[in-house]
Structure formats: C-alpha cells, structure tokens
Amino acid sequence: MSQTYILAIDQGTTSSRAIVFDRQGRIVGTAQQEIKQYFPKPGWVEHDANEIWETVSGVIADSLSQARILPEQIEAIGITNQRETAVVWDRHTSQPIHNAIVWQSRQTQDICEELKRQGHEERFREKTGLLIDPYFSGTKIKWLLAHVEGAREKAENGDVLFGTIDSWLVWKLTGGKVHVTDYSNASRTLMYNIHELAWDEELLGILDIPASMLPEVRSSSEVYGRTDKHQFFGIEVPIAGIAGDQQAALFGQACFDKGMAKNTYGTGCFMLMNTGDELVRSEHGLLTTIAWGIGGRVEYALEGSVFVAGSAMQWLRDGLRMLKQTADSEMYATRVSSSDGVYVVPAFVGMGTPYWDSEMRGAVFGLTRGTTKEHFIRATLESLAYQSKDVLDVMALDSGLPIKGLRVDGGAVSNDFLMQFQSDLLGAEVERPVVNETTALGAAYLAGLAVGYWADKQEIADGWELERTFRPMMPEEERDRKYAGWKKAVKAAMAFKL
C-alpha cells in the first residue's frame, strides 16, 4: 500500500493554511492563502466565513499537489483554528447571516460593560475561567442576534447555528451534516462550564442565547464525521481532530506533563502551561482554559496573552522604517553589547497579562545622546522577552509548579539573539523544536491518534525533536538589574495617561 499522511488545516487570523505530515511528523506539503480583514468601524474586525471556507478548500488542494500525493493517501484530517471568532449561519442554506466577528473585535464592548454593571463578572469567571471581555464568543453571538434582521426569531425557531471556525469548517467539509466543536474551543466561548463540561444554562440565560444554536461538544481526538464526496475530491475522509490553535500548539510541542509550557512568538505571544487534571484559578490575570479532552479525560491549562510581540518588529519595519525586514533585527541587536539602559514598552493597544490595562500606550525610556538605532532595535526585541517573563512569573506563582523550561515556536523564534536573551532572563532553558509548525502538527497528532496513525501520546513525546537549547548565561545580578528596569518602565508607562 502506498504511504499515507495526515492533513492539518490551520485556519488563522491572517491566513488559512494546510499542511501534510508524514508519520515522523515531518512536513511533506504546505500551502497558505491570506484572508481579507474587514474593519467596518474603528476597533471592529470581521471575516467573511464563505471566503474562509474557499481559502481552506484552495489550500487543501494546493498542499496535496505540493506534496505530490493523492487525496486517497490522506488517512485523516485535523482542524485547528483562530479561537473565539463567531460565525452564525442558516442551517437550511448553510449561508452565514453576517460576517464572522473576529476575536480581536471590540464591537461588543458595551454589552460587556452592561454585564459587568449587572454584577455578573464573578459568575462568568467562576464557571468559564474567563473574564467578561469582547475577546470571547458569547457577547459576539448576542450582538449578532440583536443586530441582524430576523436573526433572533430564527434563533428561537432553531433555524440558525453558531460555531467557532472549527465548527464552521466541519459543517462545510461534511456537506452540512455535522455540527460539533471540541472542548478546547468550547472553553473560549464564555458559555461553557469548564467544571461540569456542559453548556451552562444560567450563562446562556444571562446572554439570552438559545441552546439549540450550539454545537455538540466532543473530545479533541475522535472521528466526528467524514468529508462529503462533493467537498473533498469525491472521497470520504475521516475528520478526526479539533483544537483551538494555541492549545494545538501546546499539544504539538508535546507538553503533556503538568508544568510543561510553551510560548508562541507571533503577532502577539500566547503562553500556555499544562496543569493536568487541575483547574487552577489565577490570582494574577491568567485565564483558565481547557487544553484538550482525549479518551474521556479533560486536561486544563493556564494561559497568558501578550498583545504586541512580533508586531513590534513590524512597527520598527513599517512605522519607524528602521528595518528592511523583521529578521534584520537580530543583526542590528548583536552589533551592540547591550541596550545601554534603553527600554521600549510596546503597549500600543494597552497590555494584557498580568497588567490588563487597555488604556495605557507605548513608551520609551532611558534615551541618551549616545543611543543608536542598534540600541533601540535591541531594546524593542528585548521587550518580547520581558513581557514573556512577566507572564511566566505569574504562571509559576498561580500554578505553584516549578517551570521545567519553556518550549517555543512562532515566527520570531528564529531570532537566536531573542531566544538567548529569553533564556538569560528566565534563568531557565528555552527549547526550540525542529518543526516550527507546532499548531498544525498538534492538530495532525490529534487526528492521527484517533485513527491509529500514531499509537499514543508517548510516541508523540518520543518523536518531539529538539533543534536547539538556549541556556542561561547572564549573571543573576545583571539579570535582576535589567528586569527591575523593565518593571520600572512599565510602571511609568502605566502612570502616563493623557
């Protein structure tokens, strides 16, 4: 029999990707298409769900032809997705009733303020592990039902369905037969009780969302259905894995033991720590979320978010025109031996964990007549590591678990200077894997486990391949002095409000 593969679909905020993996977890084919961003009003972000489906369809075909394999050689499909983004569609026509409302969108700010005024914050936090914030899906659905003509009535009659992007893609791939999501995605909706593992009637009541719209919540690794012949090259392939992208990356990094953590350095940074069976409540602004559910067992994670990370490099490139390409940041940073006391606080949209201050803005401290472009770039790069240390420190505090080193992925981890500085700052090892596409790999693993392509998590953990370990080299005293400077800079930036 010819060799078989697993296809991972990674539907992200800026693009749709499909990647074909072999049994060694190596990439044999890949394709990517950008998706259009709609900004109907300041702070609003929307996507066209039909375009999302078309790009996904397109990259599936392209990835197979790039891999030079036949659709019959795909044993199973795994899906991973930008989380929280909400789609509502007509169950009879499969047409979305409106653009998808993206996780970044602030259009439900007023709804959130009202819910807080009514004193619901603690109830939501206790049951869902989340904060009342426009980030999560629940208030986005409420907004759609209120603003799209006829939507509320259709919802009451059971004619429309809600889904995060994973649900929407499964619905399309199965030709409108299967309406499901997995634990990890459900745990980002603000409607799912992460203790009882059920949609929460009380919260649905508060949000006024009919339960009939909601997908069935299934495990992250099982066969949910098969592709419809008309949607997938005339054949029926099992769709066998689903996870939100940050949880999928945790899985792809084989962070299977309590205390293991990964940090993804993309546009922002998302750090997740596996807390096993334990549902840890944060006292320092972390979210409690479901990592995955497999074989009847759900595992939890603590999550911290940094809003501006790699995008600070894009700012140096596009805004300040200090760089031709973001990768040049490393060359400039290593031309000087330190940032010479300069601190850049890239709070362009406020700051997330652990500060949660949406009104603060960016700031630069410590400039002298001797400050050069090299110092400035180095200080901006260092801000990614400082922010990540802020998150990791509160994770250690909240979880009570010792940090067993940090596994890293995402676009900016190719920057060796940044990785070394991160390790210096944490006083811990930073591990970079061979395969950087850990999100897609995680989805592939989840699907592959369900169909027996991989035997178990142990096989996956054994297959995790280290590319390079960065070990702390900076004297402790120097590290503490630098980090104390960062804390002062953040404090001063917070104090400055016009």
Ligand X SMILES: O=P(O)(O)OC[C@H](O)CO
Ligand Y SMILES: Nc1ncnc2c1ncn2[C@@H]1O[C@H](COP(=O)(O)OP(=O)(O)O)[C@@H](O)[C@H]1O
User: Residues 395-414 vs ligand X: string with x where CB under 6 A?
Assistant: --------------------
Per CB under 6 A, the list member of 6, 7, 13, 290 interacting with ligand X is 13
Q: How far is the CB of 55 from ligand X (least distance, A)?
A: 14
In whole angstroms, what is the distance from residue 40 CA to residue 380 CA? 31
Q: By three-state DSSP, how is residue 470 classified?
A: strand
Instruction: Name the binding residues.
Output: 13-15, 17, 83-84, 135, 245-246, 267, 310, 314, 411, 415
CB of residue 398 to ligand Y, shortest distance in Å: 25
Going by C-beta distance under 8 Å and a sequence separation of 6 or more, which residues neighbour residue 226?
A: 174, 236, 237, 238, 239
Q: Is 412 in the site for ligand Y (CB under 6 A)?
A: yes
Residue 382 buriedness (CB in 10 A; 0-12 / 13-18 / 19+): buried
266 binds ligand X (CB under 6 A): yes
Q: At what angle do helices 109-117 and 137-147 cross, to 10 degrees?
A: 110
14 binds ligand Y (CB under 6 A): yes
252 touches ligand Y by CB under 6 A: no
Residue 93, binding choice from ligand Y, ligand X, none, Cβ under 5 to 8 Å by partner class = none
d(CA 56, CA 128): 30
Which of these ranges, 222-230, 235-243, 410-418, 469-477, lies near ligand Y under the rule CB under 6 A?
A: 410-418
The minimum distance between CB 267 and ligand X, in angstroms, equals 6
List the alpha helices (DSSP H) in 68-182.
109-117, 121-128, 137-147, 151-156, 165-173
- Considering the rule CB under 6 A, would residue 311 count as an interface residue with ligand Y? yes
Which CB, 79 or 111, lies closer to ligand Y?
79
Stretch of 39-47, 211-219, 240-248, 464-472 lying at the interface with ligand X (CB under 6 A): 240-248
Shortest Å, Cβ 482 to ligand X:
29
Burial class (CB in 10 A: 0-12, 13-18, 19+), 483: middle
Distance of closest approach, residue 13 Cβ to ligand X, in angstroms: 3
**DSSP category for residue 293:** E
Please give the Cα distance from 274 to 276 (Å, whole number). Answer: 6
> 397-434: buried (b, 16+ CB within 10 Å) or exposed (e) per residue?
ebbebebbbbbbbbbbbebebbbbbbbbbbebebbbbe
- Residue 420 sits at the vertex; the CA angle it makes with 322 and 396, to the nearest 5 degrees, is 115
CB of 471 vs ligand X, minimal distance in Å: 28
Q: Is 245 in the site for ligand X (CB under 6 A)?
A: yes
Q: Tell me: does residue 326 bind ligand Y (CB under 6 A).
A: yes
Q: Which of residues 59-98 bind ligand X (CB under 6 A)?
A: 82-84
Rounded Cα distance between 230 and 342, Å, is 58
How would you write 302-348 as a 3-class SS string? EEEEECCCHHHHHHHHHHCCCCCCCCHHHHHHCCCCCCCCCEEECCE
Q: Which does 25 bind (CB under 5 to 8 A by kind): ligand Y, ligand X, none?
A: none
Residue 411 within binding range of ligand Y, rule CB under 6 A: yes
349 near ligand Y, rule: CB under 6 A = no
**Coil, strand, or helix at residue 399?**
helix
3-state SS assignment for residue 427:
coil
Structure tokens at 374: 């090299």
Give the interface segment with ligand Y, choosing from 276-284, 349-357, 361-369, 412-420 (CB under 6 A).
Answer: 412-420
Nearest partner of 133 among 164, 162, 105, 170, judged by Cα? 105
414 binds ligand Y (CB under 6 A): yes
Residue numbers 95-134 binding ligand X by CB under 6 A: 103
Window 255-274: contact mask with ligand Y (x via CB under 6 A): -----------xx-------
**What residues make contact with ligand X under the rule CB under 6 A?**
12-13, 82-84, 103, 244-246, 266-267
**What residues make contact with ligand Y under the rule CB under 6 A?**
12, 14, 266-267, 310-311, 313-314, 326-327, 329-330, 410-412, 414-415
